[in-house]
């Protein structure tokens, strides 16, 4: 996952990229850095956002043709993907000096960071929240698999990097799949042969065996992600790469209820089906997976899920909310005003807060439609999925603000 930066002047980075002024670096990774960009020239779409995220190739990798190809592939794929659960790409540009992708600016946290913040407090995500997030990612993957090229032929896009780090939850309660940098079109016309790419603990067995891939590879990775969200444990990760690969190939896959007894039986069955090593026994499509999850999540639960997700992110990351709000302050003299959604208000007194959980089965659980939770204070709060050595904490009892 990309590491965070507090926005500020970055004298070593670009100051202008295409139609965008570069405001500050906000994250960095192995091959690219993420900058905050502000529109200075209008684009073809009058509804285009004024503030964007600019994914820029790092100087030290710009001479590597493999990196350039991956970057262009990501851009070529992303510009076609217009879906509410996929980060929106606005512009792709590569030349001899710079390569960048302008994307919608996502304000919130990855589900990996949310999970880490819960683990810090000895909690697990509510199974309904985990199921809803996984269902929306499944919708996004199905869309990517079905989208067509200019001649109307399905592209059969495989993401190949479905992990908790690449599932984002916004402060408005939206779920977005990000980072198609490892994506592959099934016939290989863009990305070539089946290379062992992606994060090892989320590879499917057929990737390790170098078999031809299809959309069921993403289903297995999504199954691993789902298992980990429900249990707050790592499924396949081991101390070495060799041990991790062997665990993916043949390690035991425990029923989620062995670790998290509060998970409903139907959810456990869905997870087990997604994690079948024999892909012919897996879900045939991500739409089938999403259908089963949505059938579990009755309409009333789905209708309030955006509000619950928003409350969850605001509760776990209030300081980051205030920091990201500052990203959007327009420069002096600007007539443009952009703002984050407001923090959820305190619920009416008839609503309950976060109840204490039994030590043997901690779970992040709340009454619907609670819009704010009481959690133990963290000093400082965990940032962007950072690891911590703090012991587990028990949830705080509800107070007057939560009742």
Residue pLDDT, tens place only, 24-50: 998 877 678 899 999 998 878 888 888
Q: Is the pLDDT of residue 393 over 80?
A: no
Per the model's pLDDT, the better-predicted residue between 93 and 194 turns out to be 93
pLDDT score at 168: 97
Q: Which of 203, 195, 210 is nearest to 248 (CA)?
A: 203
CA dihedral (134, 309, 119, 384) in degrees, to 10, reads: 90
Reported as a pLDDT band with limits 50, 70 and 90, residue 228 is very high
- Domain-located, residue 259: yes
CA angle 185, 191, 192 (to 5 degrees): 105
> What are φ and ψ of residue 287, in 5° steps?
-65, -35
127 and 267 Cβ atoms separated by less than 8 Å: yes
- Domain-located, residue 369: no
pLDDT score at 369: 32
pLDDT score at 387: 30
Distance between CA atoms of residues 250 and 162, nearest Å: 20
Residue finishing a domain among 104, 132, 167: 104
Q: What CATH number should be reported for the domain holding residue 99?
A: 3.30.200.20
Per the model's pLDDT, the better-predicted residue between 2 and 296 turns out to be 296
174 and 84 Cβ atoms separated by less than 8 Å: yes
Q: Which range of residues forms the domain containing residue 10?
A: 3-104
* Residues ≥6 apart with Cβ < 8 Å to 306: 172, 173, 174
pLDDT score at 316: 94
Residue finishing a domain among 73, 104, 135: 104
pLDDT for 325-351, tens place per residue? Answer: 888 776 655 544 444 455 555 433 322
The region of weakest confidence among 67-81, 299-313, 373-387 is: 373-387
According to the per-residue pLDDT averaged within each range, which of 3-12, 83-92, 260-269, 346-355 is highest?
260-269
* Residues ≥6 apart with Cβ < 8 Å to 32: 2, 55, 56, 57, 58, 71
pLDDT score at 179: 85
pLDDT score at 322: 87
Residue finishing a domain among 247, 275, 303: 303
pLDDT score at 272: 98
- Domain-located, residue 358: no
Q: Is the pLDDT of residue 17 over 50?
A: yes
Q: Do 100 and 36 belong to one domain?
A: yes
| Model confidence, pTM | 0.78
The region of weakest confidence among 13-17, 79-83, 226-230, 345-349 is: 345-349
Average model confidence (pLDDT) for the chain?
78
pLDDT score at 360: 31
Q: Which of 61, 58, 13, 73 is nearest to 37 (CA)?
A: 13
Distance between CA atoms of residues 140 and 343, nearest Å: 27
- Domain-located, residue 343: no
195 and 217 Cβ atoms separated by less than 8 Å: no
pLDDT score at 332: 59
- Computed from CA positions of residues 332, 333, 336, 339, in that sequence, does the dihedral angle turn out positive or negative? positive
Q: Is the pLDDT of residue 275 over 90?
A: yes
pLDDT score at 395: 32
CA angle 216, 222, 226 (to 5 degrees): 145
According to the per-residue pLDDT averaged within each range, which of 96-105, 172-181, 267-276 is highest?
267-276
Q: Which of 109, 223, 215 is nearest to 156 (CA)?
A: 215
pLDDT for 176-226, tens place per residue? Answer: 999 887 777 665 444 444 455 678 999 999 999 889 889 999 999 999 999
Distance between CA atoms of residues 164 and 162, nearest Å: 7
Q: Is the pLDDT of residue 392 over 50?
A: no
pLDDT for 351-361, tens place per residue? Answer: 222 323 333 33
Distance between CA atoms of residues 34 and 25, nearest Å: 6
Q: Do 298 and 180 belong to one domain?
A: yes
Q: Do 67 and 27 belong to one domain?
A: yes
302 and 94 Cβ atoms separated by less than 8 Å: no
Q: How does strand 108-110 pair with strand 51-57?
A: unpaired
- Residue 381 C-beta-side C-alpha neighbours within 13 Å: 20
Q: Do 118 and 256 belong to one domain?
A: yes
Query: What are the distances in angstroms from CA 34 to CA 10, 40, 55, 124, 238?
Result: 12, 18, 5, 30, 30
pLDDT score at 96: 62
Q: What CATH number should be reported for the domain holding residue 177?
A: 1.10.510.10
Per the model's pLDDT, the better-predicted residue between 170 and 368 turns out to be 170
Q: Do 114 and 65 belong to one domain?
A: no
Count of domains observed in the chain: 2
In this prediction, what percent of the chain has a pLDDT beyond 70?
74
């Amino acid at each position: 996952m990309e590491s965070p930066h507090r926005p500020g002047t970055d004298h070593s980075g670009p100051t202008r990229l295409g139609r965008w002024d570069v405001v500050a670096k906000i994250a960095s990774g192995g091959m690219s850095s993420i900058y905050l960009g502000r529109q200075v020239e209008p684009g073809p779409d009058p509804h285009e956002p004024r503030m964007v995220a600019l994914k820029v190739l790092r100087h030290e990798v710009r001479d590597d043709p493999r990196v350039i190809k991956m970057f262009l592939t990501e851009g070529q794929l992303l510009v076609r993907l217009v879906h509410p659960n996929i980060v929106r790409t606005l512009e792709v540009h590569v030349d001899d000096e710079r390569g960048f992708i302008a994307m919608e600016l996502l304000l919130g946290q990855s589900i990996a960071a949310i999970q880490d913040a819960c683990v810090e407090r000895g909690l697990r995500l509510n199974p309904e929240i985990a199921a809803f997030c996984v269902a929306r990612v499944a919708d996004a993957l199905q869309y990517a698999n079905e989208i067509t090229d200019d001649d109307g032929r399905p592209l059969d896009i495989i993401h190949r990097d479905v992990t908790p780090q690449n599932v984002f939850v916004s402060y408005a309660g939206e779920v977005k799949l990000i980072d198609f940098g490892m994506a592959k079109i099934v016939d290989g016309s863009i990305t070539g042969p089946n290379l062992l790419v992606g994060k090892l603990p989320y590879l499917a067995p057929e990737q390790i065996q170098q078999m031809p891939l299809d959309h069921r590879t993403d289903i297995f990775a999504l199954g691993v992600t789902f298992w980990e969200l429900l249990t707050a444990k790592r499924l396949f990760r081991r101390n070495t790469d060799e041990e991790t690969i062997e665990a993916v190939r043949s390690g035991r896959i425990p029923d989620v209820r062995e670790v998290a007894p509060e998970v409903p039986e139907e959810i456990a069955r869905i997870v087990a089906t997604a994690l079948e090593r024999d892909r012919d026994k897996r879900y045939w499509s991500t739409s089938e997976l999403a259908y089963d999850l949505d059938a579990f999540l009755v309409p009333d639960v789905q209708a309030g899920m955006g509000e619950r997700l928003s409350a969850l992110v605001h509760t776990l990351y209030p300081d980051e909310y205030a920091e990201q709000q500052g990203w959007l302050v327009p420069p002096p003299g600007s007539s443009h005003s952009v703002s984050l959604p407001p923090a959820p208000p305190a619920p009416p007194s008839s609503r309950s807060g976060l109840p204490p959980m039994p030590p043997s089965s901690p779970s992040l659980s709340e009454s619907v439609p609670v819009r704010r939770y009481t959690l133990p204070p963290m000093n400082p709060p965990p940032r962007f999925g950072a690891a911590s050595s703090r012991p587990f904490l028990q949830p705080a009892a509800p107070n007057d603000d939560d009742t």
